[in-house]
Amino acid sequence: MRKALVLGPQKAGFAWLLALALLLIPWAALGRGGAAGQGLAAVRLAALPPEARTAYTLIFAGGPFPHEKDGTVFGNRERLLPLHRRGYYREYTVTTPGAPDRGTRRIVCGGKPRVPDVCYYTSDHYTSFRIIVE
């Protein structure tokens, strides 16, 4: 006859916590692409559409921006960009000719608004990003 393994309340609590951590670690890495923002492809500024180059110039000039949402905080909820405190990233519209709304193209910059540390381009409304290099 086998004896059942019985843990005390403290050990049982620790075992549950350990099991939960082991289950969540792979999901956390998946949501961040391993280390968030690592391995993002680069795109040269000169290779971007002319509207993106115009938006990029306006970002460093401090505006004026054509859309009310330009310069607002980008939350990075999908965790595709490197992780930073809330408010680090700001989003800017890249005008899409013929689109009846803001379209799907954006530039997201991190750091101070007029002197960002880094900027990313997305042509698919935050599904993927490429780091902008000059």
Q: What pairing do the DSSP bridges indicate for beta strands 116-122 and 89-93?
A: unpaired
Catalytic residues: 91, 125
pLDDT digits (tens, 9 = 90+) for 92-127: 999 999 999 999 999 999 999 999 999 999 999 999
pTM of the model: 0.73
pLDDT > 70 fraction of the chain, expressed in percent and rounded? 72
- Pairing, β 106-111 against β 89-93: antiparallel
- Average pLDDT on 87-93 reads 98
- Point out the least confidently predicted range of 4-13, 44-53, 72-81, 87-96: 4-13
Domain residue ranges in the chain: 41-133
Q: Any long-range contacts for 50-56 (C-beta under 8 Å, 24+ apart)?
A: 51/94, 51/95, 51/96, 51/97, 51/105, 52/94, 52/105, 52/107, 52/121, 54/95, 55/92, 55/93, 55/94, 55/95, 55/107, 56/107, 56/119, 56/132
pLDDT of residue 20: 44
Q: What is the pLDDT of the chain when averaged over all its residues? A: 83
The CATH H-level superfamily of 41-133 is Microbial ribonucleases (3.10.450.30)
- Alpha-carbon gap, residue 101 to 92, rounded angstroms: 14
